[in-house]
Homo-oligomer: A and B are copies of this chain.
Amino acid sequence: MTDSDLVTLRRDLHRKPEPAWREFYTTARIVEELQSRVDLDALHVGPDAIVADQRMGVPDAAELAAWHDRAREAGADPDLLDDLEGGHTGAVAVVERGEGPTVGLRVDIDGLPRPESDDPDHAPAAAGFRSEHEGAMHACGHDAHATIGIGVLERIAESGEGLDGSRSSSEQGSDGDFAGTLKVFFQPAEEVIGGGKSMAKSEHLADVDYLLALHIGLDHPTGEIVAGIDGFLAVRHLDATITGESAHAGGHPEQGRNAVQAMATAVGNLYGIPRHNDGATRVNAGVVEAGSASNVIPEEAYMQVEVRGETTDLMEYMTENAERVLRSAAEMHECDVETEIGAEAPSATSDEELVSIVADAAGRVDGVENVLERDRLGGSEDATYLMREVQQNGGLACYVGVGTDHPGGHHTATFDVDEDSIGHGIETIAGAIERIARDQP
């Protein structure tokens, strides 16, 4: 069973989903919660938590300002909000409990720019914690991730207290008596794979020996834990702007250079990039905006395209093909095209040693009925930036799946989590952290 305060917290976050770099209320709420509940040794917020110039996918000033205002109106601490201005969101919270390894936990905190269902069958709608931000939604469970991050900090802070002899948490997968340092990275902008790098490059990660990251759901039911997830698709965003020439669509269609025809040709051929024998690839033209009026030959088309590959090479293969498709489609209609590479993330692998520890810890958690050693994500994640950074420094990393019954698919209007799984996540991760500290003194 998940602590009822944490359920309240999760629902409050759910009500206020904030997309990438707009997590003003979310960051403030996390900070407030941490300050009132956990005996922290350090707390780095906003610009102190990230490397600002490594951020990717930051929206424009007007968009940031609008969400900043909204957070203020929602009652977030004004002083704290001042620090976060300009899209400097996120936090790193630190608990030091004696000598031992430095363990990192990364949780992401951003929502998605998509509307939430108001169907009465959708639990958040029925129970009154549906998104209050029209057009935005926690449709991927990051509200639960942030909550788990706080829960783990609380658990480990208390576990560390037990060094005097009392084993406060001997049940439920806990080995108790944590000795070492725990840093929880509340990362912004995962959905646009824009925040991982800015945390990976911060000084806070430099001394982390063991890094855990987690995701809820992923089609695993409540009570199932995947100890080590792999199969992260390398991903790259391509923003393409096709520019032609407008003309009166009735009077002189032949004088136009039609950016919408070029765009449509590009879309058709992007999805048709040949599948590759070396592994999975992906392509999506997720956003398209073009034209100005029905009677004007459209002179500009803007596209947000995304390519992925099971390996970096496959992602490069997709990039190269996508760029050629865009270029040729533009030429075909005498248009120009500017393609800008936006955010991107590499692939990564969970280390076997940590996978075993997590599996072991998960097996001891009440309510966890099934532990899988390994599964594949089949999507992308910028936790990979942090994982690879730690691995390159000689450390180990592991990405954990926390099963939850979710009625709708990830990123859909009816996504929701089974709140019981929040407790499973906290206990599994906390248990694993204690075990790491015990085994690697």
Contacts and interface: CB of A to CB of B under 8 A. Distances in A.
A293 B282 contact: no
A55 B255 CA distance: 31
Contact of A293 (B112, B275, B295, B378): B112
A248 B411 CA distance: 6
Contact of A254 (B254, B264, B268, B276): B276
B379 A248 contact: yes
A411 B296 contact: yes
A2 interface: no
A440 interface: no
B248 A296 contact: no
Contacts of A248: 140, 379, 409-411
A40 to B, nearest CB: 33
Interface in A239-266: 245-256, 258, 260-261, 263-265
Given A287-B290, A332-B328, A269 B261 contact: yes
- The residue among A218, A258, A277, A296 with the most chain B CB atoms within 10 A of its own CB is A277
> Chain A interface: which size bin?
35 or more
A11 interface: no
Interface string A178-199: 0000000000000110000000
Given A267-B264, A268-B268, A294 B290 contact: no
B288 A293 contact: no
Contacts of A260: 267, 285-286, 288
Nearest to A257: B274
Interface string A403-431: 00000011111000000000000000000
Nearest to A278: B254
Interface stretch (A60-68, A301-309, A392-400): A301-309
A377 B192 CA distance: 36
A390 to B, nearest CB: 23
